[in-house]
Structure 1
Amino acid sequence: MRFNIKKKIVKVLCLMLAIVTYQIKAQEKQPNILWINSDDLGRELACYGEPVVKTPHIDALAKQGVLYTNAYANAPICSASRSSQITGMYPTAVNSLDHRTLNMTELPDGIQPITKFFKDAGYFVSNGSGLTMLEKGGKRDYNFTTKVDYDGTDWDQRKEGQPFFAQVQIKYPHRIFSRDKENPVNPDEVRLPACYPDYPLLRADWALYLESVQHCDDIVGKILQKLEDDGLADNTIVFFFGDHGRPHLRDKQFLYEGGLQIPLIIRWPEHLKPNKKDKRLVSLVDVAATSLAVSGIKTPYPLHGKVFLGKNKTKRKYVYGFRQRAGDAAENLRSITDSRYKLIWNRTYDRPWMQLTSYKKLQYPAFALYHYLHSKGELKAPYNQFMAETKPEFELFDLKKDPSEFNNLAGDKSCRKIQEKLFQKLSSNLKEYEENMILEDEATIERAKKGSRVYYNKALPKQKPGLSVDANYEEIVKDWERRLLHKR
């Protein structure tokens, strides 16, 4: 009888061991998710056709995975975009569109950061800095008060066999740009986008941007090598993207292509055919929904993002853009594109594109150059359009024929049906997307403007010693020329 009891105990122990082993193996089969998120990165990569930049590690990733040619952020500035990424909702829907929101609120309607859903599913959730190879926490910059819980900074800190959702943040190519002394970019060889006039100062600034992109590539290489060395590459889905478009005058903070276009490269071994290009429209808000879906995780409410990988993928017909206050530049802009046509709704059409933004005045040579040339009547068409005292309420562009977005077709009889269709779709969806948005009052906006002036006055002596806070645009341009043209 004792023998039978021992046999039963042994059987129970074996069964328990089998269950634990099965659970561990099941966890191991769950894919790891890795987001490599680069600050202010446009599509200026060799794999996207940029001729003079050197990005071997990102190019290699593209050959191993899929490169998306029509991927967009839904906000052209970091905090709004990142708030959207981490919730899978449009920034207006979580009251997070104003940059560095002054009157932050909790996430509404029971909405949670997607980190909670990963944690509930047994994932280790981390956020690390690529610059220090995950030794410290990475950038967050969320415009809400709801806590985003992370288990650590590095997937190495998880339990054995535990799947992970890891974000690694790369600060490049965010301004202030960093020179690449090993692989300098010759300003005479760069190809400026057609939306910019060809000036030596802008060429020098663009070359520095590309050198900063090369620093980004170096870090991407180190992250991927660590993943390989840890034996995790085969079971990890890698998402590489920029948090919004490139950090240049007409791009960041605006709903033009340069502000919203991002690179998106995904490597998913044995599931995605390598070295492919995908032309589908993808919004950055889709990355959250897709990451959860391919991990087998369901949310208790629908996300705004669409799933574009795996069994339940759906096709996106439109991409939306959102812009509100950024520093001291208060705006209210929305956009929609079907990839051929884009409609921008300038709801604050009473103010100029080039209203004061202390951040760009301090760090963007083109901001001072445009003002200076325009004051002398030397900023030629079509670039001088950007100096108008007011904006049109609507801008409609044929992106195929006019990728620089200079020829506004709004009001054109031949495009009336296209404009009406896009506006009807945009305005009707905004009723839902903006339901939880709280507009800033004039006192809050004034507080933001005051804070931006303080920032400018404090940062100027550190970044540009010898230049007065009262310097005019000619003096600022001359200072930039000394720094960028005469020191190379």
Structure 2
Amino acid sequence: MKQKLRITISGTLILFLLKLPFLSNAQERPNILWINCDDLGREISCYGNTDVHTPHMDQLASEGVMFLNAYANAPVCSSSRSSQITGMYPTAINSLNHRTIEKQPLPEGIVPIMEIFQQQGYFCTNDWAHNMNKEGKQDYNFLGDNFFDGTDWKQRAEGQPFFAQVQIHEPHRVFKKDHERPINPDHVQLPDCYPDHPIIRKDWSMYLESVQIADKRVGEIIERLEKENLLENTIIILFGDHGRPHLRDKQWLYEGGLAIPLIVRYPKKFEPKTKRKDLISLVDVTASTLALAGIEVPAYMHGKEVLLGETRMYMYGFKQRCGDAVDDIRSITDGRYKLIWNRMPDRPYMQLSSYKKLQYPAFTVYNVMYEEGVLKAPFDQMMREVRPAFELFDLQNDPNELVNLTEDKKYNHVKNRLKKKLVSTLAEVEKNMQEESSEAIQKAIEGSQEYYKKAMQKRQLSENATDKQILEYWENTLLESN
């Protein structure tokens, strides 16, 4: 009798264990790996840039799917990361102002994607590519802690599937040199939205070298997966958290600020060497990641299952305060045309951003060139004291977004269509948005200015240094090694 009872208990225990998500079908459930590169635009060889050497990202693309029209929803890290981790537009979760001072919990019922994976038995990790024992960048604009179970998937239980985020700092500023494969600034192809200036050339070449450093990190990650026999059962999704870190790009809703690479490798599902032109955003990556893992996508998410074939007609961009630069901009694109709504048109394009003034040589180059009367059209548009309320661009014929079509009657129907859709969408995704208090704004401004002051002291420059003095610093720092 005792033996029979013992067998019954053992059978019950086995059945219980088999119901645990990570033990019931461990070999079948895929691992998920997000490779999140800080400030990575589409300057990768497989996306057509011939000045940069990115063999590992290119290899990923050749073994999977490369999305040609992928976008972030916000052009700065904290807003974009808050959006991607929830599958929600940043306005809907009060996470749009960069490094929000008055952080709040997420709205009731909304949780980070890690919590959803954890409920399904996944082990969730976050680390740096260069040090997987160190907690990686989060930068979320909402309250919460203990978002992850660990820093490395090796910490999980045997057979337990993982959802891992590996953060790659590059190509975020300060740029890193690639000593193995330096890039000659005299030979690079500058984007047409920038004037041809030696400092801008050097800065661009250093950005590309940092992209190459990021590519080496990707290679190290893939090599580890291969060694651990995890590669074929791991869905790899590589992307930039927003666009490239340059003057008219990061912190703006132009293509340079929102356009990102997106590469997905999972041979069990996707054919190699596939290129897709679908519109897809990072909130769609969030929803699609859940769907690929066989997990139901919460109805509240703004993301769509684009990776699995669902279509998206419009992409949206959101920008508000970034450091001490207070702003309010929204955008919409259908892939061909983009409408930008400047809701603070009285703000100049070159309003003070302590971060950009400190880190972006082009910020100073533009000011000096303008003062000397040598900053010509179309580059001098950035020096305007006020902005138009709306900017409309034909992305097919004007990919650098230099010709505003809003006053051209021929495009009235395009403008009106996009504006109507943008207004109706914002009415929904901004209905619970809370305005940032004047106290919080002032605190952010003071913090940015203090950051600028201390950094200038390290450079042995006064916080009140003139543009020409700052330009001399950049000439000595960048061009002496050219």
Q: Give the TM-score band, short-chain normalised.
A: over 0.9
**Within the alignment, does 1:461 sit opposite 2:457 as a pair?**
yes
Q: Distance in 2 between matches of 1:109 and 1:372?
A: 50
1:431 to 424, 427, 430: 427
The aligned counterpart of 2:103 is: 104
Q: Distance in 2 between matches of 1:21 and 1:195?
A: 58
1:350 to 346, 349, 354: 346
Gaps of at least 5 residues in structure 2 are none
1:298 to 265, 273, 296: 296
Question: 1:264 Cα deviation (Å)?
Answer: 0.3
Question: 1:21 Cα deviation (Å)?
Answer: 5.8
- Greater shift, 229-238 or 297-306, is seen at 297-306
Question: 1:479 Cα deviation (Å)?
Answer: 1.2
- Greater shift, 225-234 or 343-352, is seen at 225-234
Instruction: For 1:357-372, list aligned pairs within 5 A.
Output: 357-372=353-368
How far does the alpha carbon of each residue in 1:384-405 deviate from its partner, in whole angstroms, 9 at most, with x for none? Answer: 0111000000000000000010
The aligned counterpart of 1:120 is: 119
The aligned counterpart of 2:478 is: 484
The aligned counterpart of 1:199 is: 197
**Within the alignment, does 1:474 sit opposite 2:468 as a pair?**
yes
The aligned counterpart of 1:340 is: 336
TM norm structure 1: 0.95
The aligned counterpart of 2:63 is: 64
Q: Relative to structure 1, is the Cα distance of residues 14 and 449 closer, same or farther in structure 2, using a 3 angstrom cutoff?
A: closer
Kept after mapping to 2: 8 A contact 1:318/1:337: yes
How far does the alpha carbon of each residue in 1:219-243 deviate from its partner, in whole angstroms, 9 at most, with x for none? Answer: 1111111111111111110000000
Specify the code of the residue in structure 2 equivalent to 1:335.
S
What is the alpha-carbon root mean square deviation over aligned residues?
1.7
**Within the alignment, does 1:412 sit opposite 2:411 as a pair?**
no
Specify the code of the residue in structure 2 equivalent to 1:485.
L
Q: Relative to structure 1, is the Cα distance of residues 433 and 181 closer, same or farther in structure 2, using a 3 angstrom cutoff?
A: same
The aligned counterpart of 2:76 is: 77
Q: Distance in 1 between matches of 2:146 and 2:311?
A: 30
Question: 1:12 Cα deviation (Å)?
Answer: 7.2
- Greater shift, 23-32 or 223-232, is seen at 23-32
How far does the alpha carbon of each residue in 1:327-383 deviate from its partner, in whole angstroms, 9 at most, with x for none? Answer: 000000000000100000000001101000000100101000001111121100000
Question: 1:15 Cα deviation (Å)?
Answer: 7.7
The aligned counterpart of 2:447 is: 451
Q: How many residues align?
A: 480
TM norm structure 2: 0.96
Kept after mapping to 1: 8 A contact 2:110/2:300: no
Question: 1:467 Cα deviation (Å)?
Answer: 2.2
Question: 1:146 Cα deviation (Å)?
Answer: 2.9
Kept after mapping to 2: 8 A contact 1:115/1:148: no
SS in 1 for 2:461: coil
Q: Distance in 2 between matches of 1:340 and 1:158?
A: 45
Q: Distance in 2 between matches of 1:231 and 1:114?
A: 26
SS in 2 for 1:29: coil
Kept after mapping to 2: 8 A contact 1:186/1:207: yes
SS in 2 for 1:396: strand
The aligned counterpart of 1:38 is: 37
How far does the alpha carbon of each residue in 1:181-236 deviate from its partner, in whole angstroms, 9 at most, with x for none? Answer: 11100001111001001111110000100111111011111111111111111111
Kept after mapping to 1: 8 A contact 2:285/2:307: no
Question: 1:115 Cα deviation (Å)?
Answer: 0.9
The aligned counterpart of 1:129 is: 128
Question: 1:298 Cα deviation (Å)?
Answer: 2.3
Kept after mapping to 2: 8 A contact 1:127/1:150: yes
Q: Distance in 1 between matches of 2:352 and 2:17?
A: 61
SS in 2 for 1:156: helix
Q: Distance in 2 between matches of 1:300 and 1:382?
A: 45
Q: Distance in 2 between matches of 1:271 and 1:487?
A: 47
Kept after mapping to 1: 8 A contact 2:336/2:395: yes
Q: Distance in 2 between matches of 1:325 and 1:82?
A: 16
The aligned counterpart of 1:261 is: 259
1:330 to 299, 319, 326: 326
Kept after mapping to 2: 8 A contact 1:113/1:148: no
Gaps of at least 5 residues in structure 1 are none
Q: Relative to structure 1, is the Cα distance of residues 300 and 270 closer, same or farther in structure 2, using a 3 angstrom cutoff?
A: closer
How far does the alpha carbon of each residue in 1:87-140 deviate from its partner, in whole angstroms, 9 at most, with x for none? Answer: 1100100000000101111111321111111101111011011121x1110000
Question: 1:477 Cα deviation (Å)?
Answer: 1.0
Q: Distance in 2 between matches of 1:144 and 1:274?
A: 38
